[in-house]
Homo-oligomer: A and B are copies of this chain.
Amino acid sequence: MRNIDEHTITRAFVQRLDRCDNPRLKEVLIALVTHLHDFAREVKLTEAEWMAGIQFLTRTGQMCTGARQEFILLSDTLGLSMLTIALNHAKPPGCTEATVIGPFHTEDAPPAAQGSDIARGAPGQPLDVDVTLRSTDGTPVADADVDVWQADDDGKYDVQYAGLKERRARALLRSDAQGRVRFSTIVPTAYPVPTDGPVGQMLVATGRHPWRPAHLHFWIKAPGFEPLVTHLFRDGDPYLDSDVVFGVRNSLIVQMPENPSKPGRHLLRHDFVLNPTQ
C-alpha cells in the first residue's frame, strides 16, 4: 500500500497485523493504535507537538532507575493506573479495596520480625501498627507475606535520599497464626510526588498540585488469595479529595490516634479482608 493518507493509515496499520498469531496482542494493539490515530486526527496534532511528545516520553524513560519509575508515575497521574485497578479488582462485598502500587516499591524490602521497628531511624512520630488479615468468612490468614513501605516525616521514601544505602520505613513481614502483623514505624505524612522529572513538568504546566494524602503502602500475598496492593490513608488529611494519583477509597481511610496507654506514640488498628481465589 502506497500513498497512505490521514484517512487510510489506520486501516493500513491493521492490515499489517495479518500475520500476528497472538490474538490478544493483536486486539490490544489495534485498539491502542486506533485510539492513538483518532487522537492525532481529532486535535490535528502539529509536528512540533509530536516532537514534544517524543521528547517527553524519552525523558520519562531516561528518568527511570531501579529506585524510580517515572512511567508508573505518569500512568498514576493520568489516572490510567487506578482505571486498570478498577477494571481488574471487582471483588465480593467486604473485601479490602485495591489502590495504586506507585513508583517507590522495591524488590529488596528487608525481612522484619513481628513487633520490630521498621522505621530504622526514618524521621517521624512513632506509630504502632496492629493489623489482622482475614478471609471473607472471617478466618485469619496466616503466613502471608506483607510488604510495607511509606514516606517519612520529610515526605520522602528511603530510595529518594541520595547516598542512603539502607532501607528504612520499608519491610517484609509475615502474618502469624492468628493472621496478625504487628510492627512499629512512623506516622505517614502527605507528600508531593517527585517533581524534578517530566511528570512534575506536566503537573506544573497543567496547573495541578503534586500532593498525595498521607498513607502506608501494603502488598499482601497469601496462597489461595488474590494478591492485594493497597494503602491505608490517614483520616483528616487535606489532600484526601485531590490525591494527584486518584487513589483514595473511603474504605481505606483510617484513624491513627495517640495511644492513650503509650504517651507520644500513635496507634493504627485495621483488618484487611482478602479475596479467596477458590
Please report A residues at the B interface, Cβ cutoff 8 Å. 1-6, 9-10, 12-13, 16-22, 25-29, 31-33, 35-47, 49-50, 54, 57-62, 64, 69, 71-72, 75, 78-88, 205-208, 240-242, 246, 248-250
Min distance, Cβ A79 to any Cβ of chain B, angstroms:
4
* A20-B207 contact given A32-B39, A61-B59, CB 8 Å threshold: yes
Interchain CB contact under 8 A, A58 and B58? no
Interchain CB contact under 8 A, A44 and B87? yes
Interchain CB contact under 8 A, B249 and A47? no
What is the CA–CA distance of A131 and B45 in the complex, to the nearest angstrom? 32
Interchain CB contact under 8 A, A84 and B40? yes
Interchain CB contact under 8 A, B86 and A9? yes
Interchain CB contact under 8 A, A35 and B35? yes
Interchain CB contact under 8 A, B19 and A207? yes
* A13-B78 contact given A46-B88, A71-B54, CB 8 Å threshold: yes
A31 in complex: contacting residue of B9, B22, B43, B248, CB < 8 Å = B43
Beyond A19-B207, A54-B71: 7 further Cβ-contacts under 8 Å?
A: A9-B82, A26-B206, A31-B42, A33-B79, A33-B80, A44-B87, A61-B71
By a CB distance below 8 angstroms, the chain B residues around A16 are 206, 208, 242
Interchain CB contact under 8 A, A83 and B9? yes
Interchain CB contact under 8 A, A241 and B38? no
By a CB distance below 8 angstroms, the chain B residues around A44 are 87-88
By a CB distance below 8 angstroms, the chain B residues around A29 are 206
Min distance, Cβ A253 to any Cβ of chain B, angstroms:
8
Least CB separation from A103: chain B residue: B54
* A27-B43 contact given A58-B64, A64-B58, A82-B4, CB 8 Å threshold: yes
Min distance, Cβ A233 to any Cβ of chain B, angstroms:
9
By a CB distance below 8 angstroms, the chain B residues around A35 are 35-36, 38-39
A9 in complex: contacting residue of B32, B208, B246, CB < 8 Å = B246
What is the CA–CA distance of A135 and B48 in the complex, to the nearest angstrom? 24
What is the CA–CA distance of A145 and B39 in the complex, to the nearest angstrom? 34
By a CB distance below 8 angstroms, the chain B residues around A22 are 205-206
